[in-house]
Structure 1
Amino acid sequence: MDSIALMDNVWIMLCAVLVLLMQGGFILLEAGSTRMKNAGHIAGKTIFTVGIASLVYWAVGWGFTYGEGNAFIGLSDFFFGDYSTAEEGLVGSVDFFFQLMFAAIALTIAFGGFAERAKLSVYILFAVLFSAFVYPIVAHWIWGDGWLADLGKQDFAGSTVVHLTGAMGALAATILLKPRLGKYNKDGSMNDIQGHNQVYTALGVLLLWVGWFGFNAGSTLEVADAFFGYVALNTQLAAAAGAVAAMFIAWALSGKADVPTTLNGALAGLVAITASCAFVAPWAAVVIGIVGGLIVYFSMKFFDKAKIDDPIFALSVHGVAGVWGTLSTGFFATPELAEMNGGQAGLFYGGGFAQLGVQTLSVVACGVFAFIASYVLLLVCKSVLGGLRVTEEEEIIGLDLSEHGSYGYPESMPGSEKSGA
């Protein structure tokens, strides 16, 4: 293996570890955004579902995504075990590890819609089914030389493949699980169930932000021309613009610079730039981030009014911003970068509606498939497990105690002083 190939493999392995670190960001973000009585549960389920996703992706997910098959699904390379080395390019096992991390992130996003009310057994079974039959099929269509790839679909690091797919799983869950107890009153009014720790959510977002450089810049898959630096620049600008735009729109319309909105604005900017980071100029990355920050604010308000209880705001941050990020390449892709990375120039660079049409088709096709497939698989879980949701009593006392037998914060919970904790 020559020195350049070795550097490529070291770089992608490092980026894979950065993407794995994003799971720590999700733990803090989700735990901080929910109530204290469910914090341990959220942290624990993230770890074991990453474990499940890893095993399932190794067994069948990689094969369905990248195996030889047809335009809709791969049908080979199951139980991945490629230990070969190559003179140039990525070693198979390094490529596998990097792609596995993306599959695990999509699953974690989907689980945002389950928070504070789903049975532990549902997490387990859905993790297996989603990792086998939902994410890999969408990934094959776009990244595995499937039918959308043939059309020239642009999704450099996964606004559609990872974020929209995960968000559609979350939407199916929120619909079937229904709102948390106490979220909505009989007269239709809403109660604001606040998360217990904004410091956790802020630190979680920062960890995600750092990990995103593995996500986006790592998707260059090489170091030869240092193009990863340009991708990182666009990523940083979009995240910054999203955070600032979200803070100012919340401040202007509510009179308060709402912290959760600011944090979600940063994430929306990151999600939005994920598809287009290799296709657009830096000024466009700023615009993409600003729009992401604005739409996440209005989207959060919309879902609340629609009585769709989404505790982690997965639908707004990953779904709506994922749609915008996918479409943005159809507007802003430059001719030079489109030629370099695949696809056509965007509408604003004289490319017409061709690329925008492909991007729109991919949003509809992947979104509809991921939602319907997730919905059906959740119905399977409901039938097999005798329901999706914990009992009212279990939800009231919290999933830490009802599902795991101990609280994440034992000294802070009622009765702990009596037990000598």
Structure 2
Amino acid sequence: MTRTLIRKSLSIAGLAALGGVLLVSPAAAEVSEEVTYVFNTTLFLIGGFLVMWMAAGFAMLEAGLVRTKNVAMQSLKNITLYSIACLTYMLIGYNLMYPGDAWMSQGWLGAFSVTSLPGHEGEDITYASVGSDFFFQLVFCATTASIVSGTLAERIKLWPFLAFTVLLTAFIYPIQGSWKWGGGWLDALGFNDFAGSTIVHSAGGWAALIGAVILGARKGKYGADGRIHPMPGSNLTLATLGTFILWLGWFGFNGASQLALGSLGDASDVARIFANTNTAAAGGAITALILTQVIYKKADLTMVLNGALAGLVSITAEPLTPTLVESMMIGAVGGVIVVFVVPLLDKIRIDDVVGAIPVHLCAGIWGTLAVPLTNGDASFSAQIIGILAIGIFVSVASAIFWLLIKTFIGLRVSEEEEDMGLDKAELGMEAYPEFGRGSQTF
């Protein structure tokens, strides 16, 4: 079912659950509609600001995992990409992703138009505020762009990266998102992705992977003799804080994707989603902790952080139907993926600074494939087709855009600028000036 149809059916269920008051009088029916409207709108708004807070989580995670000389750049990129997503999704993305009856190519390409929000008098009060729905969908778009930022850190120029962010948030993300959530052809096929393991996370992961291949690795990361040279992050405390912020934000990401809070059933489902989401994250973190201790003889904090995030990504495709134990196992597989894919990427010389490809792309694919294990309405064939279709589209579109930007603007800073750090080279400032080279004490 499309999100629109789900909303309508849940609204009807909400009205029925809110009672026999509908049978009493027209005035009582109006009150019941308003209650449903208020609860649904509140869910979108709370879920939306929790997902927006994930932007801070990405910023802190990336700031902690890059080297000191690139922290200010990552901070700037994260606040800027969020702001860009806000504007591009308003101008193009929202109606492109949710065209209603205004498809340019039925089921494949939506409408190009600027978002406008009706006042209260122009809304259908049996569901939720259009403004709350727009805001909730917007922050998902921004999350997709955040995934790309960390992978390409420390060697990409600011403005080419922001140019790609415009294209990703205005076109790539909304088009593939419309195929399922906007009622497009993947929705008709029966593809299931409750909150976006593929539509959000794998989409961002594919864009990041293609960008990393085209951009190349950081200078000195891989030696001519085949050795891999570690480049530790600047502040693992910040990275840990970022992970906890993302974990918190994920309750809005998955919980509010229930899309309704106007009935007892909806409230129960949202609570179940919260519990499953939390359990999957814990399963991913503990699995990564145990595996790194066994394999490397020492626990690895960065792997545990990414293990928790991989658990969250894994459960996102279906956080409602699993039991708590099943959620733990789904998240645990995400933790396994991180521990083994991170070194695999290094072996094939793909430089992913923060581990976003294992977390978002690989765990996103796993989570989408796992849906039929707990949801009897899903099929493996539809899930595989959805993963492949979105993966191919995002990869091809990203490759075209990355190569065009590389050809006409350039992607990578010079070796001298990379050595200096992008904070000084691109911004003329430092995140930690008192520790910078050549700093003075006054």
Shift of 1:77: 4.4
CA distance in 2: counterparts of 1:90 and 1:3, whole angstroms? 10
Q: Is 2:323 the counterpart of 1:287?
A: no
Quote the residue 1:356 is aligned against: 380
Cα drift, residue 249 of structure 1: 0.6
* Correspondence for 1:243 among 251, 268, 285: 285
Offset at residue 76 of structure 1 (A) = 5.0
Distance across 2 between alignment mates of 1:113 and 1:255: 27
1:73 alignment partner, one of 109, 124, 129: 109
Deviations 1:314-353 (A, max 9, x none): 11000100000000002222x4xxxxxxxx15xxxxxxxx
Equivalent-residue separation in structure 2 for 1:87 and 1:129 (angstroms): 34
Contact 1:59 1:80 in 2 (8 A): no
Give the counterpart of 1:300 among 332, 342, 347.
342
Checking the alignment, whether the CA contact within 8 Å between 2:66 and 2:234 is kept in structure 1 is yes
Number of residue pairs the alignment of both structures matches: 400
Distance in 1, matches of 2:336 and 2:183, equals: 34
- Equivalent position to 1:163, from 201, 225, 234: 201
- CA distance in structure 2 between the partners assigned to 1:374 and 1:100 by the alignment: 20
Give TM-score, length-normalised by structure 1.
0.93
Q: Kindly indicate whether residue 310 of structure 2 is the aligned counterpart of residue 268 of structure 1.
A: yes
Once residues 76 and 230 of structure 1 are traced to their aligned partners in structure 2, the CA distance between those partners, rounded to angstroms, is: 37
Tell me if structure 2 keeps the 8 A contact 1:114–1:174.
Answer: yes
In the other structure, the counterpart of 1:12 is 44
Inter-partner Cα distance in structure 2 for 1:392 and 1:380: 22
Deviation at 1:79, TM superposition (A): 3.4
Q: Does 1:109 align with 2:109?
A: no
Counting only pairs closer than 5 Å after superposition, residues 386-401 of structure 1 correspond to structure 2 as 387-401=410-424
Aligned pairs for 1:155-194 (under 5 A) are 155-194=193-232
Counterparts of 1:229 and 1:149, CA distance in 2: 26
1:416 equivalent in structure 2: 439
Q: 67, 78, 88: which one pairs with 1:56?
A: 88
1:168 is aligned with what amino acid? W
Residue of structure 2 equivalent to 1:230: 272
Instruction: Measure the CA separation in 2 of the matches of 1:280 and 1:88.
Output: 30
After superposition, the C-alpha distances for 1:257-308 in whole angstroms (9 at most, x for unaligned) are 1100111100000000000102322221111011111111101111111110
Aligned equivalent of 1:382, options 387, 400, 406: 406
CA contact (8 A) 1:119 1:390 kept: yes
Name the counterpart of 1:338: none
Structure 1: which amino acid aligns with 2:426? E
- Give the residue type in structure 2 aligned to 1:218: A
Distance 1:222 1:43 in 2: 34
**Rg larger in 1 or in 2?**
2
User: Counterpart of 1:329?
Assistant: 371
For the residues of structure 2 that align with 1:82 and 1:130, how far apart are their CA atoms?
27
SS of structure 1 residue aligned to 2:382: helix
Amino acid at match of 1:285: S
1:57 is displaced (CA, Å) by 0.5
Name stretches of at least 5 consecutive residues in structure 2 with no aligned partner.
1-32
Return 293-302 or 85-94, whichever deviates more: 85-94
Q: Which amino acid aligns with 2:372?
A: G
- Partner in structure 2 of residue 36 of structure 1: 68
Distance 2:148 2:204 in 1: 4
Using the TM superposition, give the Cα deviation of residue 368 of structure 1 relative to its aligned residue in structure 2, in angstroms.
1.3
User: Residue 205 of structure 2: SS of its match in structure 1?
Assistant: helix
Q: Deviations over 1:361-409 (max 9, x none)?
A: 1111111111111111011111221x10011111111111111111011
Measured in 1, the distance between the counterparts of 2:210 and 2:332 equals 28
Q: CA separation in 1, counterparts of 2:43 and 2:381? A: 34
- The ranges of structure 1 where at least 4 consecutive aligned residues each deviate by more than 4 angstroms after the TM superposition are none
Aligned partner of 1:135 in structure 2 is 173
Equivalent position of 1:25 in the other structure: 57
Q: Which residue of structure 2 aligns with residue 96 of structure 1?
A: 134
Q: Label 1:81 to 1:2 Cα distance change in 2 as closer, same or farther (>3 A).
A: closer
Separation in 1, partners of 2:295, 2:116: 52
Of 233, 236, 244, 1:198 maps to 236
Contact 2:161 2:411 in 1 (8 A): no
Q: CA deviation at 1:113?
A: 2.3
- Counterpart of 1:404 in structure 2 is 427
Alpha-carbon distance in 1 for matches of 2:125, 2:96: 27
Question: 1:198-236 deviations in whole A, cap 9, x for unaligned?
Answer: 111111000000000000001011112211101111101
CA contact (8 A) 2:77 2:149 kept: no
Distance 1:137 1:241 in 2: 33
> Residue 38 of structure 1 contacts residue 399 of structure 1 at CA under 8 Å; is this kept in 2?
yes
**Pairing of 1:140-155 with structure 2 (within 5 A):** 140-155=178-193
Q: Distance in 2 between matches of 1:94 and 1:85?
A: 12
Aligned-partner SS, 1:234:
helix
Aligned to 2:251: 213
| SS of residue matched to 2:180 | helix
Q: Give distance in 2, aligned partners of 1:76 and 1:279.
A: 35
Moved more, 14-23 or 223-232: 223-232
Distance across 2 between alignment mates of 1:78 and 1:188: 51
Distance in 1 (CA, whole Å) between partners of 2:112 and 2:220 is 48
How far did residue 111 of structure 1 move? 1.9
CA–CA distance in 1 between the matches of 2:42 and 2:171?
Answer: 30
Which residue type is aligned with residue 214 of structure 1? Answer: G
Determine helix, strand or coil for the equivalent of 1:2.
helix
